[in-house]
Amino acid sequence: MRTYFVCPAPPCPNGILHLGHIGGVYLLADIFVRFQRMAGHRAHYITGADEHGTYTLVKARKLGQPVSDVAQKHIDEILECLRAVHITPDVFVRTSSEIHKDNALAIFRELQEAGYVEVRKGVQLYCKNCDQFVADSLAAGNCPACNSTTDSNLFENCGLAIRHDTLCNARHTTCGHNLALRSIEQAVFETSRLTEALDTAIGQSAWPELIRDKARAWLATDKHRFADVAQLQSWCGTATA
């Protein structure tokens, strides 16, 4: 008997689920869990809602409502959508919950104490007009690779993860003012200490060859020596900015 933890990415509660969400993520996870259970294995279906994403904040500002109210409304809709297609996660995690914050911080601190996390100087986009740091959908501009319009996140057209110091013509989507870079402290995960072990694990995996090659190329690239754990910080509600 084997144990599986199946954890499809948690949706951002800024709207209802559409067929792409169901067919591309949650239905596939549900089929896998059901198959493993039929085969006599233990399988746990775990997902939730990422309430710390900027998309929920943007939606709340448009509606003129508190972020917590907007998140709750759409979480109820998300759960209703899953129930409509008979998908029932064993655990539905809300990133605003105290248990999630405690668990995420415990993992972060354990990694930090083991020497895998380093706090270093970095830069983040900042709006002088609004006197606030911005990220993801709150910052818009042009992709440095193809010059197409994008936000300061992952640009799906060319697959580029947009760094704040490379976004061209950056502006604040809230007020429209230009953005500047400001120094911050950020935590980074030192993947170089695990490169050899990760490379071995990737080589022994059942991943398609193309995916294995891309993962190994990522490990070998100097600019990815450190993996940004700002997402972990934001989920914990402890971002230094």
Q: Are residues 165 and 188 in the same domain?
A: yes
CB of 17 closer than 8 Å to CB of 78: yes
What is the residue range of 219's domain?
Answer: 105-236
The rounded distance, in Å, linking the Cα atoms of 145 and 156 is: 12
Which residues of the chain have a pLDDT value below 70? Answer: 222-241
pLDDT for the residue numbered 226: 46
pLDDT for the residue numbered 191: 79
Q: Are residues 110 and 214 in the same domain?
A: yes
Q: Which of 62, 78, 96 is the last residue of a domain?
A: 96
Q: Are residues 31 and 88 in the same domain?
A: yes
pTM reported for the whole predicted model: 0.75
- Count of domains in the chain? 2
pLDDT for the residue numbered 140: 92
The rounded distance, in Å, linking the Cα atoms of 92 and 75 is: 10
Q: Which of 63, 96, 129 is the last residue of a domain?
A: 96
User: The domain that contains 127 carries what CATH number?
Assistant: 2.170.220.10
Burial (0-12, 13-18, 19+ Cβ within 10 Å), 91? exposed
Q: Are residues 58 and 170 in the same domain?
A: no
Q: Strand, helix or coil at 85?
A: coil
Q: Are residues 42 and 159 in the same domain?
A: no
- The verdict on residue 212 lying in a domain is yes
The rounded distance, in Å, linking the Cα atoms of 229 and 241 is: 13
- The verdict on residue 241 lying in a domain is no
The rounded distance, in Å, linking the Cα atoms of 34 and 30 is: 6
Q: Are residues 8 and 28 in the same domain?
A: yes
pLDDT for the residue numbered 162: 84
The rounded distance, in Å, linking the Cα atoms of 4 and 52 is: 27
Which residues, in sequence order, are bridge partners of residue 181? 125
Query: What tens digit of pLDDT does each residue of 200-237 get?
Result: 999 998 888 998 988 888 888 754 444 444 443 433 33
pLDDT for the residue numbered 145: 84
pLDDT for the residue numbered 144: 87
